[in-house]
């Protein structure tokens, strides 16, 4: 673990913290081969790779209604209630994000301009299933598409060795509103949704988190399908002053670390004693963590960094552009005003990342590896497109005539100017 003052970070330290290379270049050849084979052989390739990577021999990729119904019987009622509560919060938040589907306003007399919001025709949601089941990701990827009124929502998630889908994930996907669910994971799932096969009709856009192979496949198929954004191992940056509890900060770093050995947790401290206390708490808590081997690997490339003042801390936060940002300070809202780059922000000592992962309603599908500088987390807008509108009266066009014709003629587009003049010619 890196433990230094921000001002003492060497170039190598900064490159390691800011680049967060997830190894996409290393897997591109293998992923490209899978995509090419799915494109040429369709379902045959999907069955082959499902058996190779998941150990499941399947005769049919699509989950049946009987399997969906059975999943509710197999899941404990307490878990179903938790799913339902989480879904309610996620529906609420994303309904608040939804824009008016049609508006127009008067820019000048006789010139009405506006916008019409239209849902995409189809989307594919990838729900991981590797190291653990992720029913929460089914809720997070499907619900905003449902709120956006997408008419066809497809879910792909890896099967277990017996060919079944984890019943909690299956119940979550159905509860969220998925129209089609397929037993398919990895790069081959992305290729199937992007290119289409006999079993799976192609979609217009693919969203959702996944491992490096899934991310590479999303990037390679972008010429055939739109995607949300690249996403790598999960990460958190915690910014705190002396009012914070070191045990809580350590617990949050460990919670982030249990996702994946490549997950990264960074603590930026405004107080020397707090930084030392957090390091001590990590030594106490980490060995006893449920997934201590994964946590240990994650903490090896994590960091505790000391800032001389808030300005220095904020500069680093915005350069790091974390997936998750916790602000545990005396006045977190004041700090928030200076934050430009973060996927999702958690304000105050009672707002852990885990709340956003499961229950508060905000989306946990977020840009990682610094992509928060240019991408937003998954939201309703990802599932819509916007058409601009204009309606102009004769009075309005007369007011715009000189502007249009002058600029059109300057660009040598004389027919554009004529198209305006003809409309304004006196008529008998």
Residue tagged active-site, from 324, 326, 364, 382: 324
- Decide if 77 contacts 346 (C-beta within 8 A): no
**CA angle, 423 as apex, 419 and 426 as ends, to 5°?**
135
With both helix axes pointing from N to C terminus, report the angle between 77-97 and 167-176 in degrees, rounded to the nearest 10: 40
364 classed as catalytic: no
State the Cα–Cα distance between residues 253 and 262, nearest whole angstrom: 13
Is residue 126 a known part of a binding site?
yes
115 marked ligand binding residue: no
Task: Kindly provide the b/e burial profile for residues 339-349, where b requires at least 16 CB atoms within 10 angstroms of the residue's own CB.
Answer: bebbbbbbeeb
* 229, 365 Cβ separation under 8 angstroms: no
Listed residue (315, 240, 232) closest to 281, CA to CA: 240
**What span, in angstroms and rounded, lies between the C-alpha atoms of 185 and 49?**
9
The CA distance from 302 to 395, in Å, is 64
Instruction: State yes or no: 324 annotated in a binding site.
Output: yes
Beta strands in 203-269 (DSSP E): 205-207, 226-227, 235-240, 264-269
Distance CA 293, CA 385 (A): 44
Token pair 């984890």 is found at 166
What does the block give as tokens for 407?
């600029």
Q: Which residue is catalytic, options 323, 326, 364, 382?
A: 323
Instruction: Using alpha carbons, select from 185, 236, 210 the residue that is nearest to residue 52.
Output: 185
Residue in the block written with tokens 């089914």: 138
Q: How far is CA 204 from its chain centroid?
A: 17
The reply to whether 84 sits in an annotated binding site is: no
CA distances from 226 to 193, 195, 217, 272 (A): 11, 12, 12, 46
Residues 6+ apart with CB under 8 A from 263: 233, 234, 235, 256, 257, 298
Tokens 């490159």 label which residue?
A: 15
CA–CA dist 365, 144 (Å, integer): 11
Establish whether 188 is an annotated binding residue. yes
Confirm or deny that 252 is annotated as ligand binding: no
Cα distance from N-terminal residue to C-terminal residue, the chain: 84
- Residue 122 assigned ligand-binding role: no
The reply to whether 323 belongs to the active site is yes
Q: Are 156 and 127 in contact (CB under 8 A)?
A: yes
Q: Residues comprising the binding site for substrate?
A: 234, 256, 259, 324, 357, 411, 416
Give binding residues for Zn(2+) as ranges: 256, 259, 357, 416
Sequence ranges of the binding site for NAD(+):
126, 188, 211
Question: From the annotation, which residues make up the binding site?
Answer: 126, 188, 211, 234, 256, 259, 324, 357, 411, 416
Residue positions annotated with a catalytic role = 323-324
């Amino acid at each position: 673990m890196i433990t230094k003052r921000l001002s003492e970070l060497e170039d190598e330290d900064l490159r390691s913290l800011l680049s967060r290379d997830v190894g996409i270049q290393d897997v591109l050849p293998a992923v490209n081969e899978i995509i090419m084979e799915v494109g040429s052989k369709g379902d045959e390739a999907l069955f082959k790779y499902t058996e190779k990577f998941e150990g499941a021999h399947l005769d049919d990729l699509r989950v049946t209604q009987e399997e969906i119904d059975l999943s509710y019987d197999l899941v404990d009622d307490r878990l179903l209630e938790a799913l339902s509560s989480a879904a309610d919060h996620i529906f609420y938040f994303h309904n608040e994000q939804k824009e008016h589907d049609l508006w127009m306003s008067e820019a000048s007399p006789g010139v009405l301009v506006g916008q019409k919001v239209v849902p995409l025709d189809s989307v594919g949601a990838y729900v991981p299933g590797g190291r653990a089941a992720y029913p929460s990701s089914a809720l997070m990827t499907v619900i905003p598409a449902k709120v956006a009124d997408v008419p066809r929502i497809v879910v792909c998630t890896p099967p277990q060795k017996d060919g079944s889908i984890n019943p909690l994930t299956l119940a979550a996907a159905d509860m969220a509103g998925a129209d089609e669910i397929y037993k398919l994971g990895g790069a081959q799932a992305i290729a199937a949704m992007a290119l289409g096969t006999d079993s799976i009709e192609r979609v217009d856009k693919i969203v959702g988190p996944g491992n490096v192979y899934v991310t590479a496949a999303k990037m390679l198929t972008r010429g055939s399908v739109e995607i949300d954004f690249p996403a790598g191992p999960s990460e958190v940056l915690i910014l705190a002053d002396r009012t914070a509890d070191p045990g809580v900060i350590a617990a949050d770093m460990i919670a982030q670390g249990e996702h994946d050995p490549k997950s990264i947790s960074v603590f930026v401290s405004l107080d020397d004693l707090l930084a030392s206390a957090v390091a001590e708490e990590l030594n106490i808590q980490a060995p006893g963590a449920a997934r201590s081997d994964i946590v240990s690997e994650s903490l090896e490339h994590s960091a505790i960094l000391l800032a001389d003042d808030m300005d220095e801390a904020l500069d680093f936060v915005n350069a790091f552009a974390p997936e998750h940002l916790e602000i545990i300070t005396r006045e977190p809202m004041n700090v928030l005003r200076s934050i430009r780059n973060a996927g999702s922000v958690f304000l105050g000592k009672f707002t852990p990342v885990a709340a956003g992962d499961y229950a508060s309603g905000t989306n946990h599908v977020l840009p990682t590896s610094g992509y928060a500088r240019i991408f937003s987390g998954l939201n309703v807008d990802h599932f819509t497109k916007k058409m601009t509108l204009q309606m102009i009266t004769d009075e309005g066009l007369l007011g715009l005539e000189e502007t249009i014709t002058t600029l059109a003629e300057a660009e040598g587009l004389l027919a554009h100017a004529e198209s305006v003049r003809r409309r304004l010619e006196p008529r008998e």
